[in-house]
Amino acid sequence: MKTAFLNLLLLLAMSSQAQSNDYIIKQSGDTIRGKVTLKNSVFRVGTNPWVEIDARDVIKVKSEYYKGTVVVPCRLILYTDNIDDYQIDYYKRDAIDTVMILQEVYTTPKMNLYYGISDFKVPYYFYKTPGDSLPVQLVIRYYLEGGLANYINDRHKYMGQKSKLGIVEDKGYVNQLYAIMGNCKKIQSNVWELLSYREYSFKEVIRKYNKCK
């Protein structure tokens, strides 16, 4: 009776794993099916026993836990959208080695756009041209400018409106895209000035870029 019960549990576990729609695709092209989790840059596929696979060997994942499918091991340049972490006239140049699972949100012949959320629940955008082996991060940072301290130290520079504290966006992503698209005459200067770290804004400039020969 005990043996029959154990066999039943084993069959149920195997059936659950077989019915899973989750899978990963390795660099070699092999597909491994089973429940997928990611921890410390290592994928675990299946349940007791599971298979461990280095994230660098994986190109695609499909799992109920992730919206995206594109696996990108990278050196992620961090930023925060929490104003309490901003500093005056200074931004941290922090970066971590991590694995981003990205969702492809816009596909064109010249450039694709990707979106993902880090372990810190912060949104990031990436792009990829036909010449890139992996998606490339679009960099953004924020810091504070002005404020009472600056006013006291340099009253001539920070008098009046400039003594007010404001949030400054360091638009590294503009320089990145301009280096690729700068010769496209269909992208006017005001487009670069108004470009923001938003999906619709990136889609618009990529759309214009694809109209250039």
Task: Kindly report which listed range (17-21, 60-64, 124-128) carries the lowest average pLDDT score.
Answer: 17-21
Among 66, 85, 110, which residue terminates a domain?
66
Among 20, 50, 66, which residue terminates a domain?
66
Number of domains in the chain: 2
Same structural domain, 92 and 164: yes
Among 39, 66, 93, which residue terminates a domain?
66
Percentage of the residues of the chain whose pLDDT score is greater than 90 = 61
Q: Which residues pair with 141 in a beta bridge?
A: 170
> What span, in angstroms and rounded, lies between the C-alpha atoms of 210 and 213?
8
Same structural domain, 123 and 186: yes
> What span, in angstroms and rounded, lies between the C-alpha atoms of 2 and 13?
17
Same structural domain, 95 and 54: no
**Residue 193: which H helix or E strand, with range?**
helix 189-194
Task: Note down the domain range covering 30.
Answer: 1-66
Res. 108: pLDDT tops 60: yes
pTM: 0.79
